[in-house]
Chain A
Amino acid sequence: MENVIELQHVHKSFDGFQLNNLSMTIKKGFVTGFIGGNGAGKSTTIKLMMNLLQPDRGTISIFGLNYKDHEKEIKQRIGFVFDENIFYENVTLAEMKKIIKPAYVNWDDNLFHYYVKTFELPLNKKIKSFSKGMMMKASLTIALSHHAELIIMDEPTSGLDPSFRRELLDILHNLMQDGEKTIFFSTHLTTDLDRIADYITFIHKGKHIFTKEIYQIEEEYAIVKGGIELLDKDTEREFISIRKSNHGFEALTANKTRAENIFGGMALIEKPTLEDIMFYTKKGEEHYV
């Protein structure tokens, strides 16, 4: 399968934060959900992918091209959807279109009007009067109107109400039908990912923890719940981290099959949520560092 985004050994440091040897690949024709806690480096990674920041070391290639020689071409083929208003507030969507259109070789007015109609966006109202949901749709309309092959979204569902989030996921499902488009989006709302994401990329403290097919996660990871008496030095080693209380323990393992062999029948073994994985990974890090 073709990789649309490739990061290799990328380093980037600021005061008090660093991305450390980050390598990851994003597959063409699929949706990748990008998760990680606050300060994990999601926004920095996205900015690096957009060439809004440059890496200190390492290479970044988009569509197999590097920014140094092909910045214009790459940007023509990317649609970027922010969670915040990136438009001039005092213009209308119709005026905004006139400003943006000349920047794109493949701009398609028919497509623009198709999405404006589909999303029921007003062309002649000032953008500052738009709700968060409308802003999101306007941003997506602009991204889609120049035939972007790669759509990068930073927290697209945050701040949207549940029914609009559903609507957005439907829109994304429709976009994925021809298999030519690739979507990469960061989110805090991990339940959205079950409905749309093919791959999950998880970073923590500037490090890449994994990129996996979404079904692979529940095949490998499991939450084990049981009585404290099941824990000793050996069994504790099976876990990424453990939450103990007076009433028992709950822990995350990255090797479900082994956990089933060891604890089968004596403990509950359940499918973890992405939140569980994020929580226990963070906790495990604090414990061992």
Chain B
Amino acid sequence: MQIIISNNSKGPIYKQIYAQIKKHILTNELQQGQSLPSMRQLAKDLDISVITTKRAYEELEKNGFIYSVVGKGSFVSEQNNEMIKERKRKVIEEQLVTAIQNGKEIGINLNELKELLTMLYREEE
């Protein structure tokens, strides 16, 4: 896992670590369940203090990118893809609600709407 810390950057070091690990997770370079180096090991490797890597890991954990097991270390969350799916699902629901409301305005009933949806869905295949 590549992490490069800039000493001239305006951003705090823990944010730089946070952003880079997050990117590695989103690009699947770090995969679900994969273990991260221990906070102390990473601090040593990057020549920075433990509290800084601790803060970065805490932020990653808070936002669901990683999880930690006491005595075992930190791992890339499996929740992450679930979270992305969950978010998309919400968007779909909202869009469907809009479609239902528009349909009701011009008197399209549920069956007609279902037919329309089925037809459009098949066309996309």
Binding site for B on A (CB under 8 A): 29-31, 169-170, 173-174, 176-179, 194-199, 213-215, 218-219, 271
Contacts and interface: CB of A to CB of B under 8 A. Distances in A.
B12 A219 contact: yes
Interface stretch (B48-56, B74-82, B83-91, B94-102): B48-56
A271 B10 contact: yes
Given A173-B47, A195-B47, A195-B49, 16 more contacts: A29-B50, A31-B49, A174-B44, A176-B43, A177-B40, A177-B44, A196-B49, A197-B49, A198-B52, A199-B51, A214-B49, A215-B12, A215-B51, A215-B52, A215-B55, A271-B10
Interface in B15-47: 38, 40-41, 43-44, 47
A218 B59 CA distance: 17
A264 to B, nearest CB: 14
Contacts of A271: 10
Nearest to B14: A215
Contacts of B10: 271
Closest 5 pairs (CB-CB, A-B): A198-B51, A173-B44, A198-B49, A177-B40, A213-B51
A218 B41 contact: no
A214 B40 contact: no
A30 B51 contact: yes
A213 B14 CA distance: 12
Nearest to B40: A177
B50 A195 contact: no
Residue of A173, A174, A196, A271 with highest tally of chain B CB at under 10 A? A173
Contact of A30 (B12, B44, B50, B55): B50
Given A30-B50, A199-B51, A215 B41 contact: no
Contacts of B52: 198, 214-215
A29 B50 CA distance: 9
